């Protein structure tokens, strides 16, 4: 009897505490809503100058949401198209990457997408657009030109074009279409028994496409499969669940989403018969693999169904939903955290504790919790998926970054395309020693920061010494060190040849054979993939 009374009292106390909490939240919400409205009304009545009400309120909303998490954002109506592109990889347009090195110059077709309108209507890499619908592009920046090229599918746009080969001018009318950038950039056999697919997103239908690609690879003799999620920032959760469902029994729990209340819990399990529950799997990840990529990698790891290889993932264990707002605006709001089958959440403990690339910083084990996989292996929460096998990613020198950032490689590739109507078939195409000498001649006459990382740090140190008044008394030592570190542009370009050639090879291949060719060239030099194929795998 006493026990029953005690339980009843505890339940009653819990009920009153919950009711009190809800009442307090309702009061605070009403209070601050009224204050916010009163502030705007008073500003509108009393402020001395004209009131930029739209900019003022939007700044306030953005500042308010920034106090929550990086993924809850307000999307005004005029940004809906960009938002759609971000979440669905689709837009209305002609299907081409453009390049405008000079605001007063022409728009250059840098890369038409295979079978997109730009490609089908005859626009080629290197063609120069001089006018769009009769309006000169001179004086317009890249965004303004891009906006004019995009539009509602089914509408037409007229380009006045200078041909890359003949130099002649002509008008080309292109009918816009709904352009969807593929989530699977490439799939193929990387050796006699290993199939490979590079997955760059999780938009609608990608699981079905991946299933078809896997069936095709099995028909070519695939005995093991590599799913490359490196650089994949995520997308639709249900597509991640369906991809896991290709490899595990029907009804397997893949992920659980938990919202702000005990009732707001959803469990997502596979709903279709699997494609193959025994096919050996390798999943490649890196610090840019996030969200749905982490659901796939984390669940397959927890289920001991795949060997996860690479670097620790980004650490985004949050679920977003897009909610409509008045006047065509939208709110992308975080509604839950997700948990992999072992019960762990991959969300980083601290949003601010990040590396320069945005990935999770070091988190001591004392701040994390241990969980067990299906076969009893220990995995931890607190920030991303730690791979079963760590692989070293490719690191580029400061020189190579500078060549790309300053557009030197891009300019050279366009120049190469103008001078070469065709290249060898992809399997035979290689950037030769003579080609690289040609690149050096081109690049050494371009303006870019070619200092080594060591020399850049030296310059920073010298500036600090000057600020502290120590440079003059150390000038002899500093001059000697500077002389030792200094390297002329041509010498440095020759030194980094093996690092730069693969980038040029890939970019040139894309211009002639489209995006899948670029991935194929990249795989030639993918040391992490080769190491993954040599590494021991976990037993399923």
- Per-residue pLDDT tens over the stretch 189-200: 999 999 999 999
pLDDT at 357: 62
Point out the catalytic residue in the list 187, 299, 316, 342: 316
Task: Tell me the CATH number of domain 90-180, given options 2.60.120.590, 3.30.420.40, 2.150.10.10, 2.30.42.10.
Answer: 2.30.42.10
Strands 184-189 and 318-324: what pairing?
unpaired
For residue 316, indicate whether it is catalytic: yes
Q: Provide the b/e sequence for 273-283 (b: ≥16 CB within 10 Å).
A: ebeeeebbbbb
Task: Tell me the CATH number of domain 184-320+336-394, given options 2.60.40.10, 3.10.310.40, 3.90.226.10, 3.40.50.720.
Answer: 3.90.226.10
- Identify the segments of the chain with pLDDT beneath 70: 1-23, 25, 349-366, 540
Point out the catalytic residue in the list 207, 291, 293, 359: 291
pLDDT at 505: 97
Taking the CB of residue 28, how many other CB atoms lie within 10 A of it? Answer: 10
Task: Report the alpha-carbon distance of residue 494 to residue 500 in Å, rounded.
Answer: 9
What tens digit of pLDDT does each residue of 148-207 get? 999 999 999 999 999 999 999 999 999 999 999 899 999 999 999 999 999 999 999 999
Where in the chain is CATH 2.30.42.10? 90-180
Q: What pTM was estimated for this model as a whole?
A: 0.87
For residue 291, indicate whether it is catalytic: yes
Query: Would you give the end-to-end CA distance of the chain in angstroms?
Result: 52
Where in the chain is CATH 3.90.226.10? 184-320+336-394
Q: Are 331 and 307 in contact (CB under 8 A)?
A: no
Task: Report the alpha-carbon distance of residue 363 to residue 368 in Å, rounded.
Answer: 8
Q: Are 274 and 250 in contact (CB under 8 A)?
A: yes
Nearest to 308 by CA among 223, 354, 377: 377
Q: 337 pairs with which residues across the strands?
A: 258, 318
DSSP readout, 218-281? Answer: HHTT-SEEEEE-TT---B-HHHHHHHHTTTS-TT-EEEEEE-SSTT-EEEEE--S--S-SSS-E
């Amino acid at each position: 009897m006493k026990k029953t009374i005690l339980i009843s009292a505890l339940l009653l106390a819990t009920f009153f505490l919950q009711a009190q909490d809800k009442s307090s939240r309702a009061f605070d919400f009403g209070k601050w809503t009224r204050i916010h409205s009163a502030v705007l009304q008073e500003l509108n009545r009393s402020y001395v100058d004209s009131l930029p009400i739209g900019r003022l309120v939007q700044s306030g909303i953005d500042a308010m949401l920034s106090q929550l998490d990086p993924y809850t954002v307000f999307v005004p109506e005029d940004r809906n198209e960009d938002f759609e592109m971000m979440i669905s990889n689709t837009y209305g347009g002609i299907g081409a990457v453009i390049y405008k090195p000079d605001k007063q110059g022409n728009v250059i077709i840098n890369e038409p997408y295979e079978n997109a309108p730009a490609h089908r209507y005859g626009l080629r890499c290197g063609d120069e657009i001089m006018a769009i619908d009769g309006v000169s592009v001179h004086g317009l920046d890249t965004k303004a030109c891009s906006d004019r090229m995009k539009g509602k599918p089914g509408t037409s746009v007229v380009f006045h074009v200078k041909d890359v080969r003949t130099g002649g001018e002509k008008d080309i009318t292109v009918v816009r279409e709904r352009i969807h950038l593929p989530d699977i950039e490439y799939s193929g056999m990387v050796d006699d028994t290993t199939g490979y697919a590079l997955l760059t997103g999780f938009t609608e239908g990608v699981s079905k496409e991946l299933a078809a690609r896997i069936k095709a690879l099995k028909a070519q003799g695939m005995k093991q499969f590599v799913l490359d999620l490196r650089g994949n920032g995520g997308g639709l959760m249900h597509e991640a669940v369906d991809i896991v469902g290709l490899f595990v029994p029907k009804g397997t729990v893949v992920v659980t989403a938990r919202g702000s209340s005990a009732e707001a819990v959803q469990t997502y399990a596979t709903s279709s018969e699997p494609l193959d529950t025994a096919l050996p799997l390798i999943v490649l990840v890196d610090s840019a693999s996030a969200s749905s990529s982490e659901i796939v990698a984390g669940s397959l790891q927890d289920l001991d169904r795949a060997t996860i290889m690479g670097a620790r993932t980004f650490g985004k264990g949050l679920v977003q939903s897009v909610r409509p707002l008045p006047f065509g605006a939208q709110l992308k709001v975080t509604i839950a955290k997700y948990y992999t089958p072992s019960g762990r959440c991959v969300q980083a403990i601290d949003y601010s504790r990040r590396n320069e690339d945005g990935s999770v910083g070091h988190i001591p084990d004392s701040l994390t919790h241990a969980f067990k996989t299906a076969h009893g292996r220990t995995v931890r929460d607190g920030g991303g998926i730690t791979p079963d096998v760590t692989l070293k990613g490719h690191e580029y020198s400061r020189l190579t970054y500078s060549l790309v950032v300053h557009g030197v490689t891009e300019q050279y590739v366009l120049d190469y395309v103008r001078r070469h109507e065709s290249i060898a078939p992809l399997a035979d195409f290689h950037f030769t020693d003579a080609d690289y000498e040609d690149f050096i001649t081109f690049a050494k006459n371009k303006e870019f920061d070619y200092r080594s990382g060591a020399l850049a740090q030296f310059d920073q140190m010298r500036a600090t010494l000057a600020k502290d008044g120590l440079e003059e008394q150390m000038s002899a030592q500093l001059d000697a060190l500077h002389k030792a570190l200094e390297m002329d542009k041509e010498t440095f370009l020759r030194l980094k040849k093996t690092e730069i050639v693969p980038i040029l090879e890939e970019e040139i291949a894309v211009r002639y054979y489209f995006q899948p060719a670029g991935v194929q060239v990249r795989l030639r030099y993918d040391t992490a993939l080769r190491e993954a194929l040599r590494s021991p795998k976990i037993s399923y």
